Structure 1
Amino acid sequence: MSISVIEQARIQAQVLVPLVKALQAELGEARANALVRNTLGDLYRRFGEEFWKAKKEASLGQAVASAFKTYARDDALAYDVIEQTEDAFAFDVKRCAYAEFYQALGEPELGFLLVCTADFATAEGFGPDIKLTRTQTIMQGANHCDFRYRRNKGESQ
């Protein structure tokens, strides 16, 4: 059985949290966070591209729903689907074990940097016609995360 994404995040945090804190101390928080965000962004963008190619599903709703089942494995996320169509997948995360983990560490800002910012980079990997909108996260203190994926048909970007 493969290791769940939440377990991967917990294991990675053992190395990444002290590394990012050391980078912040050395380079300053803004510069270190930008470096981490850009580096991880490239990695997650490639992950999104590979995922999208592997799915080969015409339906955005089916593909993104499948991805979030992977992230939700081992009771990591509780979420309500708001809309699932060929060109949209909208849902609200009501409970997030990733946020609970980083909040228990006393590092929700690093949790946002290391976990939540990956969502946008991964969505970029899905293609230029796929857009993610999210206005709030549990990691940053909201009572839910509002994910809205849409395919913008006919728009060139």
Structure 2
Amino acid sequence: MLIHNLIIKLVKPFINSSARKVLGRLLDKSTVQTLLKNAWEEYGILKNEVHLEPNFGARIMVELAVISETFFRQLAGKMSKQEAYRIFNEIAWDIYSKMGKTTYRLTGLTSKNKYDHLLKATRLFRTFPFSSPSYQWKDLPAEPGVVAFDCERCPVANYFKSKENAALGFNTWCQLDYKLAELWGGNLRLTNTIAGGAEVCDFRWKVDEDERENKT
């Protein structure tokens, strides 16, 4: 109940604002309002089916996965699936980019160089909201300039798989990390994902060649 109230009171206004901004370019105001109303009503029902994760950040992420599902259903009822993916990602990025910018600014205060900055930004995200033990991370050795780790358990991917809709997680949540890498001054190689059917998500975040020196 606590997480649900938090989502409704604090997160819902931001989601609605981003959705109205994007959807307002495609649909009339009345249609957008109905879409939002239906999506939130469905969330109120589906939230009761969510597996309760042991830590706070992961609980929020799974609740947001439920919201993703309900919003996508509403979008897919008005356009093709591929167009719905595109529009959903535009809405989600409007929100996710704000999280990413805040994280990058905070970690930049103590970073020595671009590699160190990228390392600290990814670590902060893995501390919250993508935190253990719900998310299981494994740091790996890597070539210079690369931040490498695997995600061995992802509650969001598991939620979508439990709903037999892993493709939604793969085509939405997984895709946002590529843009996040660019926002953080690098690029991402993600060959395998849990949502895509792999055992792990193999994150490899890479900075520019001229930023590799002074790696710590």
Higher alpha-carbon Rg: 2
Give 1:85 deviation, angstroms. Answer: 8.7
Task: Name the CA distance, whole Å, in 2 between partners of 1:39 and 1:53.
Answer: 22
Where structure 1 has 5 or more consecutive residues not aligned to the other structure, the ranges are none
1:32 match:
84
SS of the residue corresponding to residue 124 of structure 1 reads: helix
Which letter does structure 1 place at the counterpart of 2:83?
A: R
- Larger deviation: 136-145 or 68-77? 68-77
Question: Looking at both structures, which has the greater relative contact order when contacts are Cα pairs under 8 Å and sequence separation is at least 6?
Answer: 1
Q: Say which of 108, 125, 128 aligns to 2:183.
A: 125
* Alignment correspondent of 1:63: 121
Residue 81 in structure 1 maps to residue 133 in structure 2: no
2:95 aligned partner, one-letter code: L
Worse-superposed segment, 78-87 or 116-125: 78-87
1:14 equivalent among 66, 82, 86: 66
2:107–2:120 contact (8 Å) kept in structure 1: no
Q: 1:92 — aligned with what?
A: 150
Task: Quote the offset at 1:133 in angstroms.
Answer: 1.0
Residue identity matched to 1:67: F
Aligned residue pairs, count? 152
Look up the match of 2:104: 52
Deviation at 1:9, TM superposition (A): 2.3
Deviation at 1:16, TM superposition (A): 2.7
Question: TM-score, with normalisation over the residues of structure 2?
Answer: 0.62
1:132 Cα deviation after fit: 1.2
Distance 1:32 1:118 in 2: 15
- Measured after TM superposition, the shift of residue 89 of structure 1 is 1.1
Structure with the higher strand share, 1 or 2: 1
Q: 2:202 aligns with which of 140, 143, 146?
A: 146
Could you list the runs of 4 or more consecutive aligned residues of structure 1 that deviate by over 4 angstroms after TM superposition?
none
SS of alignment partner, residue 60 of structure 2: helix
Tell whether the 8 Å contact from 2:103 to 2:124 is kept in structure 1 after alignment.
no
Q: 1:109-143: per-residue Cα shift (whole Å, max 9, x none)?
A: 2222342222122222213xx11111110011011
